Amino acid sequence: MNIIRKFIESKSPLEKNLEKELKKILGFKPKNLFYYKKAFIHSSVKAVDEKGIPLNYERLEFLGDAMLNAVIATYLFNKVPTANEGYLTQMRSKIVSRHHLNELGMDLNLIRFVKSNVSVDKFGDNIHGNVFEALLGAIFLDRGYDGIEKFIHTRVIIPYVDISKLEGKVSSYKSLIIEWCQKQKKEFHFEIYEDSGNDKIKQFSVRLLIDSKQVAKGRATSKKKAEEMAAKRAYYVLQNKIG
């Protein structure tokens, strides 16, 4: 029996410690610890069950994402009864944004539970949000909708959700810039340009052109992040015009 099978099935000091730490996070003792163990297994371990089905957190992450969206949507629907669909969708997007989920996972220090064949320092920030969503999936399977709703209210809504602050928060500078350019009938283009740096980690350098003129640049470990950074800098350059 490999170490992951032992981690999954055994009644060991490791299991008891996980149960103890989870109780502090969850506010209750897990009924079925199996779901929570699975929520912290990274796909790099390549563990499978007796039927050959992968044992990792990815399916739980999918389930947790769906449950989080459902609970937040219900909360907003009841909290802001006069809001239209567009407003509710935008507010939900801000609450469940990847950046926010990563913060939640970091605050709970869920990375300490992860079993992986990849060094932790090689993970990107998204691992924190992914594991947080997997934990939500485990809670739903263990405690049902009432259990996951209570946890999200306690750990997400009460400490982090402030409607008035969220209304003024920009969830995507890239979307904001694109929308402004379209309204103003301006041409825009995000362009990756060559980088001569010698960084060990691959970096993407992007510049934003509006009406063929460079407005801002961004540099990050992914094209998407670099574009968002360039858009954010462009927003502050054009803030008076965008309003």
Q: Which of 163, 196, 212 is the last residue of a domain?
A: 163
- Please state, as a whole number, how many other Cβ atoms lie within 10 Å of the Cβ of residue 135: 29
Give residue-wise pLDDT tens across range 81-118: 998 898 898 889 889 988 889 999 999 999 999 999 98
Domain that holds residue 16: 3-163
Asked if residue 72 lies in contact with residue 136, where contact means CB atoms within 8 angstroms, the answer is no
pLDDT value at position 20?
Answer: 92
Residue 37, domain member (yes or no): yes
- The dihedral over CA atoms of 68, 73, 79, 84, expressed in degrees to the nearest 10, equals 150
Give residue-wise pLDDT tens across range 130-147: 999 999 999 999 999 999
Write out the two tokens for 116.
Answer: 């992986």
CATH of the domain at 196: 3.30.160.20
45 and 128 within one domain: yes
Supply the residues annotated as catalytic.
65, 133
30 and 108 within one domain: yes
pLDDT value at position 107?
Answer: 94
Q: What is the pTM of this model?
A: 0.70
Cα distance between residue 242 and residue 237, in whole Å: 10
